[in-house]
Amino acid sequence: MAVEVVMPKLGMAMKEGTVSLWSKAVGDPVEKGEAIASINSEKIEMDIESPAEGTILNIAVQEGQGVPPGTVICHIGDPNEKIKIDEPVAVETQLKIDEQEKPKTKESPTLPMGDRLMITPVARKMAQAANLDIEKIEGTGPGGRITKEDVQKVIEERDSIPVNTEKRIVPPKPAIESQQQIPVMGMRNIIAKRMKESLQSSAQLTLTMKVDVTDLVILQKQATETLQKHDSTKLTITDFVAKAVVLSLKEHPKMNSAYIEDNIILYEHIHLGLAVALENGLVVPVIRNAENCTLRQLSNKGKELARCARDGQLPIEDMQGSTFTISNLGAFGVEHFTPILNTPETGILGIGSAYDTPLYIGEELERRTILPLSLTFDHRVLDGAPAAAFLQTLKRYLEEPITVIL
């Protein structure tokens, strides 16, 4: 009996999922656990694995089509097995029916199903816009899939071919700049809308401050060496900053709030969001009730959430409900930047790249490590002075790091 493959529900709030790419075609054999399609829903992108061994009997949902959770997207069974009449018609079958109803036109060459080209939707549209033959593009993605980088490479190589200057000189024509049109969809589309809404719906202001973390770096290395004797835990500077943020929020509860419908909502608990960069976007996993976590627990939970996010296994519930967010661009060499609020939150802290510089400590000039911080806050909730006071409290914790672990 044929096995139904359905659109999974990636969280309680999910209303629709989209098939972004089919890795298999009708008639292709599949193994149990083998990836057969890629799907996305808001900030989640993942592969769907075959629940059974068999053959793809039909494909009921086309690439780019969104359907509610639970919708059958294909069937897997024995090669000669028939699908019930009341079940979805295969995309390939429907296309044939549509073609019979349309006036006959010159057909473009197609590949046999066994040689079906795998290409991402974005790459396909880029290739069409640039008038490229996708059959001549070499794919470097999984299973030979053609990616947007592959198409971009072909376009750049084509545009870099030198012009033969020995040919007859013709009157110059107005230059037409080569353009690419990349559709904004999936996660990128959601991020674009939310960032625009954030800037339009709040009064954002950013303050910057430099913190001397010389003693913190020493403590962090000592703590990591001690912990790794017992397990693989590795504490990072970001872990210490996260704990210091939680302690500072407890002293400045107005920063742990939200502006909703002309009301300031003060939260009882601290749900700390940690921005995680993905290949095609950004997600913010949430450590709930962070005020009850030790430094080590914050570190372990943060790393586990980040791993799940990068593997596409993070439930939507774990990306909702944060009350304050931390974003770290230090690994990219950025010092100060302007993070955008994860509305309706009141604050978001940006961590820059630490650097060494000579500083006077009393009368002596010493080599010290400086960590740049950027705090964006909603000016509707609090003014510059209380926001600066929050930064000063955070600075105190980081410059007296023993207070973070006591």
> Contact 255/382 with Cβ under 8 angstroms?
yes
Q: Which residues are catalytic?
A: 379, 383
Is 47 within 8 Å of 312 (Cβ atoms)? yes
Edge-to-edge order in the sheet of strand 17-22: 44-49, 35-41, 17-22, 66-67
- Give me the amino acid identity at 77: G
Contact 189, 197 (CB under 8 A): no
| Residues forming a β-bridge with 366 | 359
Enumerate residues 6+ apart whose C-beta is below 8 A from 370: 210, 211, 212, 213, 354, 355, 356, 357, 359
Count of H helices and E strands in the chain?
9, 19
- Classified as helix, coil or strand, 242 is helix
Q: What is the token pair recorded at 70?
A: 């639970």
